[in-house]
C-alpha cells in the first residue's frame, strides 16, 4: 500500500477548503490516514472510496464528552483518523452511505461560532501582546501582523455565519 505525507498550512477559517482538499485527494485515490500539525498522512485507496470530514470540538478531545461524541460518530460507520488540538478528522466509505457531521443549518452555525470564538480569542491575544511589546519593535510588529491576519479570518467567519443565518431565515 502506497503512502504519502503532505505538509500544508491551512488557516482555521478555511476549514471548508481543507475538507474539500482532503476529499479531492480521496477522489484521486489518497485517503487521509493520519494528521499532525501542518502534516497530513495519506494512504492509497480506490478513487472515490472515502469521504472525509473535520470538526472543531467544543471541548478538548480527551474529555468524556468529546470521547462520547467520537464514539457516536464511529457508530455511524465512520473512522476516527486523528486530531490536531480540538480539530478531529473522520473518514467513511462512500459505499456505506452519506456522511455529514452537521445535520442542519443550526449545527453548522454553532460550528462556525466555535471557530469564530477561537480565532477571535487568538487574534485578541496577539493584539494585546503586540501592544504590550511596543518597545520591542520586532516582536510587536510580528504580533500585530498576526493579529491583523486573524482579524481578517474573524471577519471571513463572521460573513460565513451571517450567510448561513440568512439561509436559515429563508427556510423557516
Predicted TM-score (pTM) above 0.75: yes
Which residues neighbour 83 within 8 Å (Cβ) at sequence distance 6 or greater? 35, 61, 89
Contact 85, 59 (CB under 8 A): no
Contact 53, 90 (CB under 8 A): yes
Length of the chain: 172
SS3 state of residue 62: coil
Closest by CA to 92, choosing from 66, 73, 65, is 73
Q: Model confidence over 45-91: pLDDT tens digits?
A: 999 999 999 999 999 999 999 999 999 999 999 999 999 999 999 99
- Give bridge partners of residue 44 from the DSSP assignment: 30
Statement: residue 152 has pLDDT above 90: yes
Amino acid at each position: 500500500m502506497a503512502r504519502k505525507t503532505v505538509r500544508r498550512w491551512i488557516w482555521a477559517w478555511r476549514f471548508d477548503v481543507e475538507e474539500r482538499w482532503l476529499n479531492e485527494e480521496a477522489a484521486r485515490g489518497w485517503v487521509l490516514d493520519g494528521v499532525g500539525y501542518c502534516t497530513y498522512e495519506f494512504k492509497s485507496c480506490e478513487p472515490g472510496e472515502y469521504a472525509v470530514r473535520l470538526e472543531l470540538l467544543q471541548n478538548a478531545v480527551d474529555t468524556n464528552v468529546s470521547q462520547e461524541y467520537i464514539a457516536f460518530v464511529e457508530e455511524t460507520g465512520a473512522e476516527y483518523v486523528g486530531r490536531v488540538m480540538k480539530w478531529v478528522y473522520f473518514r467513511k466509505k462512500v459505499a456505506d452511505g452519506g456522511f455529514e457531521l452537521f445535520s442542519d443549518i443550526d449545527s453548522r452555525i454553532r460550528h462556525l461560532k466555535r471557530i469564530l470564538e477561537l480565532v477571535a480569542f487568538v487574534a485578541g491575544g496577539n493584539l494585546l501582546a503586540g501592544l504590550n511589546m511596543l518597545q520591542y519593535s520586532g516582536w510587536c510588529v510580528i504580533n500585530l501582523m498576526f493579529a491583523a491576519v486573524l482579524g481578517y479570518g474573524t471577519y471571513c467567519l463572521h460573513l460565513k455565519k451571517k450567510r448561513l443565518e440568512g439561509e436559515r431565515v429563508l427556510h423557516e
